[in-house]
Structure 1
Amino acid sequence: MVEPTSQLGEQLGAKLLGKSIVSFMPGADDNKYPPVDKKSAFKRLIPLFESMSIAQALLELNQSSVTDERIQRLLKDLDACFIADCIKPAHWRAADVAQTLNLSKSRFLHLFKDQVGIAWRPFLLWRRLLCALQTLISGRSATEAAYRAGFADSAHLSRTFRSTFGMNIMQAKNLLK
């Protein structure tokens, strides 16, 4: 579930050459010991990246390249959504976020793109989609997942998910079970 317009997403898209999916065989221990943090999840992707000739450094690019403390705090707050319940997207409007960081909206948008490598809106949409998927995986309904992630309804969530990732959200849920 890589954000398609990120540097990693663009690299993967170029390597896929129009194929909608590429699979690889996980190791024997992968199913017994699910990843508990980003570092262990990244380790699992190394064989896939090697098979596609993509530098492993791209996995950690956004994490390691953010030097501005305000953007680091913002990303940490967004990451908290994956541990607990998602924070309603209404609180993530650029103007509101900029104000909490003591920046103008235009400076925040410029700084975020410069630091993270992707514009705020597509990044936030990607995070909202992942939040909805996480909600579904936890056993909640598609309607609740859509509501928690800030979509009008489950149909809106499904259309947006399909246009972003090329599969419907239930297919993604089944892949990640």
Structure 2
Amino acid sequence: MRPTVWLKPGMLIIYGAALDAAPHKHHAIQLIWPSNDSSYRLNGNVAAGALLIDADVEHQLSMKAGWIVLIEPLSYWGKTLQAQLAGRSIHQLALLGFAKSVTKPVTKVMEAEPFSLLAPLFESLEIDLSASPLSRPHSDQRIQKLISQLDSCFDGDCIKPSSWRAAEVAEQLALSESRFLHLFREQMGIAWRPYLLWRRMFCAVIALKNGNNVTQAAYLAGFSDSAHLSRTFKNQFGMTIRQALTLFQLKSSSS
């Protein structure tokens, strides 16, 4: 059975069923698109249609079936969605008559490339699918190089996050630690430590997709143990790793 999670630089795409997340918040802008005539419950209120949630906004979501797309705020796509939000924390989208997800069983979704299924949604949002989501308007080439190094994880060439302490990164960039921390926050809109934690979550998901068990994924992503990974995962996504394995149909043997 193929996974229903796709990771690309700058984004995490999920197709899930029976999603029920506890209150949580994360670094990414979240796009919710329920399947067919499904509704969802956000913060206790029932709604339908596509919805945008800004980064770092706490929310609780339950949905029968549908898409969740998490996008880094300073990527090309993130900037486009921020324009749609226009300063609002949550925004119900008017999608020019196309407010419902395509009608496809989960098994069909799992066999498809997600962009082909999400194309009508992105077109309604005036997102250019030919543009790279990696495009980030950083003025400092050193930060661009650093993010590109982190993005190498998506090609299966992860650098264990323990080698990414601020002092070590600053030295690589020929900066003092304090200057690096200031520059990174200025360029990325988030401090280095929580951003690195966010990226480590991606490393853990990639490890799980590659067939590692939870303990192995925790080690590969630089967490002390599987319990530490699961606690952090729940804070970021509102569910434990084991809940995610079931929901997103990832394969992983027990730890």
Above 0.5 in TM-score?
A: yes
CA drift at 1:117: 1.8
Q: Which runs of 5+ in 1 are unaligned?
A: none
Asked if 1:101 corresponds to 2:173, the answer is: yes
| Larger Rg, first or second structure (1 or 2) | 2
Check 1:62–1:79 CA distance in 2 against 1; reply closer, same or farther (3 A cut): closer
Q: 1:34 corresponds to which residue?
A: 113
Q: 1:158 corresponds to which residue?
A: 230
Partner of 2:136: helix, strand, or coil? helix
Q: 1:19 corresponds to which residue?
A: 60
Residue pair 1:133, 1:169 contacting (<8 A) in 2 also: no
CA drift at 1:82: 1.7
Match of 1:118 among 176, 190, 195: 190
Residue pair 1:132, 1:148 contacting (<8 A) in 2 also: yes
Q: 2:26 corresponds to which residue?
A: 4
Q: TM-score, normalised by structure 1?
A: 0.74
CA-atom RMSD in angstroms: 3.5
In 1, Cα distance between equivalents of 2:151 and 2:245: 20
In 1, Cα distance between equivalents of 2:110 and 2:225: 33
| Superimposed CA distance per residue, residues 79-131 of structure 1 (whole angstroms, 9 cap, x where no aligned partner) | 11121142111111011001100111111111111212211111100110110
Q: TM-score, normalised by structure 2?
A: 0.54
| Superimposed CA distance per residue, residues 28-79 of structure 1 (whole angstroms, 9 cap, x where no aligned partner) | 58544325xxxx5xx765666789xx7859xx88742222111111111101
Q: How many residues align?
A: 166
Q: What is the letter of the counterpart of residue 20 of structure 1?
A: L
1:73-88 correspondence runs (5 A): 73-88=145-160
Partner of 1:18: helix, strand, or coil? coil
Greater strand percent: which structure?
2
In 1, Cα distance between equivalents of 2:27 and 2:182: 16
Report sequence identity in percent.
Answer: 46
